[in-house]
Structure 1
Amino acid sequence: MGVIEMINPATGERLGELEETSPEAIERAMVHARKAFRRWGNLPLAERLDHINRLRRYIVDHADELAETVVRDTGKVHLEALMTEILLTVDFIKYYEKKAASILKPKKVSTPITLIGRRSWVEYRPMGVVAVISPWNYPFQLAMIPAISALVAGNAVLIKPSEVSPLTGLLIEKVFRKVGFPEDVVQVIHGGKEVGERLIQARPDKIFFTGSVATGKKVMAAAAEHLIPVDLELGGKDPMIVFADADLRRAANAAVWGAFTNAGQTCMAVERLYVESSVYETFVRMVKERTEALRLTEEGADVGSMTFPRQLDIVEAHLADAKEKGAKILCGGRRTGSDGLHFEPTVLTDVDHSMRIMREETFGPVLPIMPFDTEEEAIRLANDTPYGLNSSIWTKNRKKARRVAGRIEAGNVCINDVMINMANPGLPYGGVKWSGIGRYHGPEGLLSFCHRVSVISHPGRKKREINWYPYSERQTDAIRYLIRLLYGKGWNLSLKELLNLAVQFLRRK
């Protein structure tokens, strides 16, 4: 069992230490969670939502306080913490408060004529104990939203926050305690890689993981040993395509925000920008001007620090590779300040797909810009990646926008907007290809934490069904007639054949 050192990445200030959860404590947490699940899962949905409602009201009442803790933990600016960590979380909770009852109620399913006399429906039942393994870039929101989804569905939850943002892990623990959640329904497990491995070995009933592709593959492999279902929300290398007929001012503002918000540490950030050649020079100039106007370390900064030292090393390695292969840095490209992890917002040109910065997830404040000549070329470049999380298309031509959107290989698409899909709690969110498996948010997100149970009910008054033993030639004839009637040219059957079929099918013995 190790010790996690808590440090403010923006200032280098030491915030304290936190002991990792021991293997024995993880086992105990799982035992307690299973007991808590039996109580929580059996509560009426309305009672579970009462707890969720109290949680939302507490977050709202302490919004600035919670946001400031996240700021100290991650280095992001206060407005971004308030907007992306707090606002998104409470909006999401409100959505499920309104919609959960209709989403989780049993759904009637039509019953075919071959099963005449029966009724069919689907029920949604909680899975048990859900392990939520969350990342450091949005440590409050990306832990709370899947955890709340699982709780609303009736599951108990074990949350393992990232060891890179441990202060927010403690904050989440405090929030659930303050609102009086039932004992052991939500527990927080603290630690790094080994703690995550131990949590999976404790065999939760589902794992929801958000993080890198490399770690996601390891989580999935470990879960496969026990056939544990897994949802993976992984990385991205998201393209932004700007056509010549776009509103260039809006697109330039979007590109700068989409690339540099949260210091570029967003899985659906703009990591590749493709601009139609006829407006390329103009657009690059607009982006450069807006980037150079961003405030960094002074009061009221636009861009905060990066959070994880190792990620800053990756950013610098990608830039070095790009420069070696001919890329040009128009602005930025350096660390700033003597303390902390600040890095200047950086704009690159003369890039191509031989460079790591156009193929691997950079996850930092860097925006590479590349021209294209035709619609087909733009689509080809956008899809030339193993990732497929988000994308954006910029044009005033709605028909073209829809056409291009339909060919982009991504789980989320924006038209004349950027990175906004996740802000709509009613939309399912997730990626394709290396960007993940599964969806959360929306009805799909709630149901992903449920077992779907199919139920068929019969009045029970018949002694025997046509398909039961003992078999006879008469049954064979009846099934043959049924196939011809329902699935072939049934109108060719004679009246005698139809009557014989009816007798055989409805006959009771």
Structure 2
Amino acid sequence: MTSTVEQPRRLRVVDPATGEPITDYDIADEAAVQAAVRRARDAAGWWAGLEAGQRRRHLLAFKTRVAGRIEQLAELIRAETGKPAAGALLEVMLTVEHLDWAARHARRVLRRRSVSSGMLAFNQASSVEYVPYGVVGVIGPWNYPFYTPMGSISHALAAGNAVVFKPSEFTPGVGVWLGQQWSELLPEHPVLQVVTGDGTTGAALCRSEVDKIAFTGSAATARAVMAACAERLTPVVIEGGGKDALIVTADADLDAAARAAVFGGLGNAGQTCAGVERIYVEDAVHEAFVARLADLMRQVKPGAEPGAAYGPMSTPAQAGTVLRHITDAIGAGGRAVVGDAGSVRPPFVEPVLLADVPEHSTAVTEETFGPVIVVNRVADAEDALRRANATRYGLAGSIFTRRRRRGQQLAAQLRAGAVSVNSVLGYAGVPALPFGGVGDSGFGRVHGADGLREFSRPRAVTWQRFRAPIDVMTLQPTASALRISLQMFKLRHGRR
């Protein structure tokens, strides 16, 4: 009788363009995740105990190390996602800019600040200080496996936290590479650790003793993350995707708007949560804009080569979602201007432009995450706003108009966490700006000062400078103290 020993499950990574295996990784179980969190807890004490200037020096050294190996990292991103070399390089460059900003500005943003104590506590000196949570768990996506999770990782580290990072099961190599760079820089202090695995690993991280979770992914998975975190009341920051709209007014530069739409809609094979999936164009210029956009899209071809405009769908299931949306849009009466259902030839999807698609179609209401753009005509900019805002998502948006004030007015009414006027994704290259959404796009912010505070706890501190001559902060204040305080209160607040 022979006995068989069950081999531990492994995470196999494949080339998204060919399906050929690249390598495999461990699937961290609950015990492995808990062990990583315990190590992080010890490291967090050391890291938080450093002066802000010391943390800055370590983070800048980390930044320099990553930047000096940009070609190596970009090639790893390209291999796991299938995106072109230019897209992978841009992803690294943008990420390093945000890391640099977080390292250099954390001390200023999070320093202790004095605040006014007001009339009732005039004998107190008051301040607000920001302290790190301790250990932050980060769960990253596959579409931008470096840029997106580093929005949380870099700001959590700069704020004084240790981080346990669980990369997507489709792009674990990028996360492992990142963890190796840190460990080679500071081998004795596991302030940044990486645990690879599938959904069970992510669930274990949510239920571990981390102090906060940062998650990027679908809204459905975000709800599961929140439910798991609720067991321990672990706070979360969520980025749950988007169905972002571009508004083109009658006075817009149509050529510029069309070029921007191609970049936002087809970049990374359309697998961009803050890209362009819907376009609303004022009726007077609708046909002219569609003609320009169609001409540009017909010139774009996907491919597996490093210099292609964009690559394959990064995950096996995504092409099916794209096909379902195209079929639904055309079946509901939409017009196929460029491409159609036949453009979906997994793992590649050629550009698809759909016009006059009913607003109830899944191509309008659900996140397509593919190189498909829906362009619909509207009566005016107000109509465009109503349609753009009629979604459960609210991540970002774009507006094209030649009138600056009009652009600002429309931006103020767009239900989104970020807006670009006369560009798309303009905010992504500005490290000082926060990023995050509303509704099914999530809550909380990464990047900028708000991103640093997202991974810090505000703490209020007062200290008594002298004994109050009129003391009502006591169990039984004197009648005279209460009378005088009441008179002062009415003088201050009881008159217009």
Query: Smaller-chain TM-score range?
Result: over 0.9
Task: Find the counterpart in structure 1 of residue 244 from structure 2.
Answer: 238
Aligned pair 1:310/2:320, yes or no?
A: no
Quick one: which amino acid aligns to residue 458 of structure 2? R
Structure 1, gaps ≥5 residues long:
491-509
Summarize the alignment of residues 388-427 of structure 1 with structure 2, pairs less than 5 Å apart. 388-427=394-433
Aligned pair 1:65/2:107, yes or no?
A: no
Rg larger in structure = 1
Deviations 1:94-114 (A, max 9, x none): 212331121111011112122
Quick one: which amino acid aligns to residue 131 of structure 2? R
Summarize the alignment of residues 277-356 of structure 1 with structure 2, pairs less than 5 Å apart. 277-297=283-303, 300-333=307-340, 341-356=347-362
Find the partner of 2:30 among 13, 20, 23: 23
Find the partner of 2:185 among 153, 165, 179: 179
Find the partner of 1:192 among 198, 206, 211: 198
Deviations 1:395-414 (A, max 9, x none): 11222212211211111111
| Matches of 1:54 and 1:182, distance apart in 2 | 16
Alignment: residue pair count: 488
Q: Which moved more, 1:18-27 or 1:458-467?
A: 458-467
Q: Secondary structure at the match of 1:456?
A: strand
Aligned pair 1:52/2:39, yes or no?
A: no
Question: Shift of the alpha carbon at 1:230?
Answer: 0.6
Deviations 1:231-261 (A, max 9, x none): 0011101010111110111001001111000
| Matches of 1:134 and 1:413, distance apart in 2 | 23
Quick one: which amino acid aligns to residue 167 of structure 1? G
| Matches of 1:147 and 1:335, distance apart in 2 | 40
Tell whether the 8 Å contact from 2:84 to 2:310 is kept in structure 1 after alignment. yes
Tell whether the 8 Å contact from 2:136 to 2:211 is kept in structure 1 after alignment. yes
Deviations 1:243-291 (A, max 9, x none): 1110111001001111000000000110101111111111111111101
Q: Which moved more, 1:297-306 or 1:123-132?
A: 297-306
Question: Shift of the alpha carbon at 1:463?
Answer: 9.9
Q: Superposition RMSD on alpha carbons, in Å?
A: 1.8
Tell whether the 8 Å contact from 1:205 to 1:229 is kept in structure 2 after alignment. yes
Tell whether the 8 Å contact from 1:334 to 1:344 is kept in structure 2 after alignment. no
Deviations 1:451-506 (A, max 9, x none): 1001111135569933313333223312221212322349xxxxxxxxxxxxxxxx
Summarize the alignment of residues 25-40 of structure 1 with structure 2, pairs less than 5 Å apart. 25-40=32-47
| Matches of 2:477 and 2:399, distance apart in 1 | 62
Question: Shift of the alpha carbon at 1:334?
Answer: 5.6
| Matches of 2:214 and 2:102, distance apart in 1 | 18
Deviations 1:11-31 (A, max 9, x none): 323102112012211111111
| Matches of 1:62 and 1:355, distance apart in 2 | 45
Distance 1:458 1:10, change over 3 A: same
4+ runs deviating over 4 angstroms: 334-338, 460-464
Tell whether the 8 Å contact from 2:319 to 2:344 is kept in structure 1 after alignment. no
| Matches of 2:27 and 2:469, distance apart in 1 | 62
Tell whether the 8 Å contact from 1:51 to 1:181 is kept in structure 2 after alignment. no
Summarize the alignment of residues 457-468 of structure 1 with structure 2, pairs less than 5 Å apart. 457-459=463-465, 465-468=471-474
Tell whether the 8 Å contact from 2:102 to 2:154 is kept in structure 1 after alignment. no
Summarize the alignment of residues 110-259 of structure 1 with structure 2, pairs less than 5 Å apart. 110-180=116-186, 182-259=188-265
Tell whether the 8 Å contact from 2:123 to 2:466 is kept in structure 1 after alignment. no
Quick one: which amino acid aligns to residue 51 of structure 1? H
Q: Secondary structure at the match of 2:349?
A: coil
Q: Secondary structure at the match of 1:114?
A: coil
Q: Secondary structure at the match of 1:232?
A: strand
Aligned pair 1:14/2:11, yes or no?
A: no
What's the TM-score once normalised by structure 1's chain length? Answer: 0.92
Distance 1:155 1:182, change over 3 A: farther
Task: Find the counterpart in structure 2 of residue 446 from structure 1.
Answer: 452
Q: Secondary structure at the match of 2:285?
A: helix
Task: Find the counterpart in structure 2 of residue 87 from structure 1.
Answer: 93
Q: Secondary structure at the match of 1:413?
A: strand
Distance 1:114 1:263, change over 3 A: same
Q: Secondary structure at the match of 2:163?
A: strand
| Matches of 2:490 and 2:344, distance apart in 1 | 80
What's the TM-score once normalised by structure 2's chain length? Answer: 0.95
Task: Find the counterpart in structure 1 of residue 3 from structure 2.
Answer: none
